[in-house]
A and B are shown apart, each in its own frame.
Chain A
Amino acid sequence: MTDVPPLLNVRNLKVHFFTQAGVAPAVDGIDFRVNPRETLGLVGESGSGKTMASLAVLRLVPPPARIVSGSIEFQNRDLLTLDEAALRDLRGKHVAMIFQNPAYSLNPIFTIGDQLTEILRWHEPVSRTAARDRAADLLRLVGIADPLQRLRQFPHELSGGMKQRICIARALLCNPALILADEPTTNLDVTIQAQILDLLAELRDRLRMAMLLVSHDMGVVARMAHRITVVYAGRTCETGDARTIFHTPQHPYTRALLESTPRIDHDYEHATRPTLRTIGGRIPNLATPPTGCRFHPRCAEATEECAQLRPVPFEVAPGHSVSCLKRGSPGVAA
């Protein structure tokens, strides 16, 4: 898939928070790429910058954060230089977003129908009834029974799983080429999460969409993603196809992340005192990030140079790149 031009190409993205206490580089050089019809899992813990990076794609980063530098190319257009009118045309039509909390991303004072048809009528010259029919079709597509009735309802009348289905339908209204899904199932119960993941996977395949799936849950990413980019404290650690990341991860952080997660398919009973691998220390405060490699204070393999030099992504195998001095990455003075 590497010779296909990417649908979305994000390079050296930097999003900084400008606060009274100083500048916090929340995203400080993240690279990722989404190929057509492919799902990229963007994985990291809280504070890794994964959500900011996905918001930056639509230039939706909230103040006091600002996109400082980097490039975001979508269908060979640089999104960082587009004017507002072009952006409005892009958002929802070519690139749509599904947020973590469906309760907050639906407006409580408008009906479901109002919110869905508004998007359609904004982007396309359609009549009110045609828009309503299209909205009803989409609700049917996301597995909602009795769609015409639902269109007249308000968000508070629906359950969390139902609301997330509606958010998915809303994202699909204009047949976007790319869906940005930020922790789409984090607030849902596991059985509902399974329903929503199945639905997303089916629709993505049927409608041939690409997806950027932002998640902290390795299980969800394993289930959905073709390729994975792991981020830590605002920087990319490792990118590879899903199987490589899970079976032969190279970056010490990726390894530690996988080994510190308890697994449902692992039997801990034989050990009287089972232990999980832990990552010492804690996630750095981004107002004062560590020098050199961001992970070095918590890394078992770190040496002197890791504190001095910032590793740049290095391709250890075709399609598998790692940012770690111990894996051959060249270092630049940070």
Chain B
Amino acid sequence: MNALLRVEHLVKRYPVRRRGILGGRAVGQISAVDDVSFSINAGEALALVGESGCGKTTTARAMLHLVPATDGEVWFDDADILPVFRGTNRAAILRVRRGMQYIFQDPYLSLNPRWTIGQTLREPFRVHRHARQAEWPDRVAALLQRVGLEPDHAWRYPHEFSGGQRQRVGVARALAVEPRLLVLDEPVSSLDVSVRAQILNLLVELRVALGLTYLYISHDLASVRFIANRVAVMYLGGIVEVAPVAVLFRHPLHHYSHALLSAVPVPDPDTKPTRVVLSGEPPSPMNMPSGCRFHARCAAALPVCKTTRPPLIDVGDGRLLACHNPR
């Protein structure tokens, strides 16, 4: 199958400055994303999971040039897109942007409170000149219905909606330009359980009905299991394991994936926790450990783990793994 999106050796570093009278000086750098490569096939949902600070959101943002990447390449539909974003050809930039849209975590912050829902949904058409102006009202109505809202809702303001409805608007806005790839950054984590289920169902339904491709970013592993086909586990700026969802959840090979999955509490009092409790906390990305990023917290670390970073290699079953001493 052909990859719709390929991310190759993506790097994003932030300088750390000590503040001074004359602007300060760089005293180090944070490697938020450190040599990340993955690909997503057309029609697939890839989940990027990991704990806060592991670089999953930065990866997605660097991929879409919402923050400029330090290094690396992003191929979308066999075109190298980061040079396009860095260039000045606005038409070309918009063409790429139409292909990939972003849905934000917080539906309270990602909608303009002074715009009606209709204004918000017309904006992509205006910016991208995606449809003739005469068609906009019909298009907006169709979008609202597509995400389970009423056409009348176009006249209302965000504050009149609940969190779940606002996230539906966020989804409708992303769908306006008919993208092929949606980047979903924790789209349900600010929603209550009963509403979360509605949005998760909507996302699955839309993907099947419209043939969309998802990059689903989340720390909520139960929702990942529900929505994703494949899962990439990130730790401290790097991917440690990628596998089909059932393969990974049944038998994670990387020690960090295992610890992460076993830490999720199962909603059943009879399930005995077979938990690998990780000691300590992730190290600071400012002084990245040598060798394997995870070696200091890993119970199975070998001497080689301290010195050599394990490459992400294919180990069969559609699984990629970066570990010298897998489970």
**Chain A residues proximal to chain B, CB less than 8 Å:** 45-46, 159, 161-162, 189-195, 197-198, 216-223, 225, 242-243, 246-247, 256-258, 260-269, 272-279, 282-283, 298
Contact between B278 and A278, CB atoms less than 8 A apart = no
List which B243-280 residues lie within 8 A (CB) of chain A: 244-246, 249, 259-271, 273, 275, 277-278
* A241 (CB) vs chain B CBs: closest residue: B269
Chain A to chain B contacts (Cβ below 8 Å), 26 pairs: A46-B192, A161-B281, A190-B221, A195-B278, A216-B193, A217-B265, A218-B193, A219-B265, A222-B269, A223-B269, A225-B269, A243-B269, A257-B194, A261-B197, A261-B267, A262-B197, A263-B222, A264-B225, A266-B226, A267-B225, A267-B246, A268-B226, A275-B201, A276-B201, A278-B198, A283-B192
Query: Which residues of chain B are near A221, meaning CB under 8 Å?
Result: 267
Whether A265 touches B266, Cβ cut-off 8 Å, given contacts A45-B194, A194-B277, A283-B194, is yes
- A-B pairs, top 10 by smallest CB distance, nearest first, are A219-B265, A194-B263, A260-B197, A189-B51, A262-B226, A218-B267, A279-B194, A276-B197, A45-B192, A242-B269
A162–B162 alpha-carbon span in the complex (Å): 34
A263–B266 alpha-carbon span in the complex (Å): 7
Query: Which residues of chain B are near A225, meaning CB under 8 Å?
Result: 269
Whether A264 touches B221, Cβ cut-off 8 Å, given contacts A189-B51, A194-B263, A275-B201, is yes
A217–B229 alpha-carbon span in the complex (Å): 25
Query: Which residues of chain B are near A268, meaning CB under 8 Å?
Result: 225-226, 245
CB-contact partner of B194 in A161, A220, A256, under 8 A = A256
B52, B249, B269: residue with the most chain A Cβ atoms closer than 10 Å: B269
A217–B266 alpha-carbon span in the complex (Å): 10
Query: Which residues of chain A are near B201, meaning CB under 8 Å?
Result: 275-276, 278
B205 interface contact, C-beta 8 A: yes
Query: Which residues of chain B are near A246, meaning CB under 8 Å?
Result: 267-270
A220–B268 alpha-carbon span in the complex (Å): 10
Whether A269 touches B245, Cβ cut-off 8 Å, given contacts A260-B194, A278-B197, A279-B194, is yes
A263–B300 alpha-carbon span in the complex (Å): 29
Contact between A191 and B263, CB atoms less than 8 A apart = yes
A198–B222 alpha-carbon span in the complex (Å): 20
Contact string against A for B residues 1-13, beta-carbon threshold 8 Å, 1 for contact and 0 otherwise: 0000000000000
Query: Which residues of chain A are near B266, meaning CB under 8 Å?
Result: 219, 222-223, 263-265
Query: Which residues of chain A are near B281, meaning CB under 8 Å?
Result: 159, 161-162, 192
Whether A273 touches B265, Cβ cut-off 8 Å, given contacts A190-B51, A191-B51, A192-B281, is no
Contact between A219 and B204, CB atoms less than 8 A apart = no
Whether A222 touches B192, Cβ cut-off 8 Å, given contacts A194-B275, A243-B270, A262-B226, is no
Interface contacts beyond A260-B197, A263-B225, A264-B222: sample of 17 additional A-B pairs, CB < 8 Å, sorted by A: A189-B52, A189-B219, A190-B260, A192-B281, A194-B275, A218-B193, A219-B222, A219-B267, A225-B269, A268-B226, A268-B245, A276-B197, A277-B197, A279-B197, A282-B195, A283-B194, A298-B194
